[in-house]
Amino acid sequence: MNNSGSSVIRYSLSARILHWGMAALVFSMLFAGLLMVRSLEPWQPTLLSMHKSFGIIAFVAVVFRIAVRLMSAAPSLPAGLSGLQRLIARGSHLLLYVAMIVLPVSGYLMQNAAGRPLTFFGQFAMPPVLPTSLDTYGLLREVHGLMALGLMGLVLLHIAGALYHGWVRKDGVLQTMLSYRRDQH
């Protein structure tokens, strides 16, 4: 996936748009999820309905994002990174993708197991693939909640790594996802 010796100095425009769009979507989905489990306010069902619809968008977006990532070259990691740092960078990115896939899938399956329809902004219902089961619902709810917490941790790690590269190492890694990158000649 990572092209060593590549002359690519930043991610493609489509990759950058998907990255920042999904960042906004992931933050809003995590925030909405936290609000929903902590509140029984009258607006909670509306937020839950929106959360489900945006979960469908998140799933489609991450599939598209993976396709774009596989079809386009990525900037090389800086030569001065240790093997452990390279492993952490690659592993954390892989875990981010896994979490971004598992969260909407577990949410969808959780709604199936609860016997609740999953509709896209009230326009059409996703077909159920699981029978109604309280035990399965409970398990999937736990998976969904734990994956959300895991994604929060991974996002914080990702942000910390980006800021470390941008502010401490100043090695151009942060700029590869921004609109520019200064040449490091």
Report the distance separating Cα 10 and Cα 183, nearest Å: 11
Task: Please give the backbone phi and psi of residue 118, each rounded to the nearest 5 degrees, phi first.
Answer: -110, 110
Report the distance separating Cα 35 and Cα 73, nearest Å: 38
pLDDT in tens, 11-55: 989 999 999 999 999 999 999 988 887 767 888 888 999 999 999
Q: Can you read off the two tokens belonging to residue 126?
A: 């996703």
Q: Can you read off the two tokens belonging to residue 168?
A: 């401490």
Given a cut of 60, whether residue 145 has pLDDT beyond it is yes
Instruction: Identify the weakest region by mean pLDDT among 42-46, 129-133, 141-145, 153-157.
Output: 42-46
Name residue, tokens 């945006």: 54
pLDDT in tens, 55-108: 999 999 999 999 999 998 888 888 889 999 999 999 999 999 999 999 999 999
State the pLDDT at residue 27. 95
Given a cut of 60, whether residue 172 has pLDDT beyond it is yes
Kindly state the average pLDDT of the residues 154-171.
93
Q: For residue 180, what pLDDT band results from cuts at 50, 70 and 90?
A: low
Report the distance separating Cα 101 and Cα 63, nearest Å: 8
State the pLDDT at residue 39. 67
Given a cut of 70, whether residue 3 has pLDDT beyond it is no
State the pLDDT at residue 119. 93
Query: Other CB atoms closer than 10 Å to residue 61's CB: what's the count?
Result: 18
- What is the CA angle 77-99-154, rounded to 5? 55
pTM above 0.85, yes or no: yes
Measured between alpha carbons, how far is residue 167 from residues 15, 47, 52 in Å?
23, 37, 37
Report the distance separating Cα 9 and Cα 33, nearest Å: 36
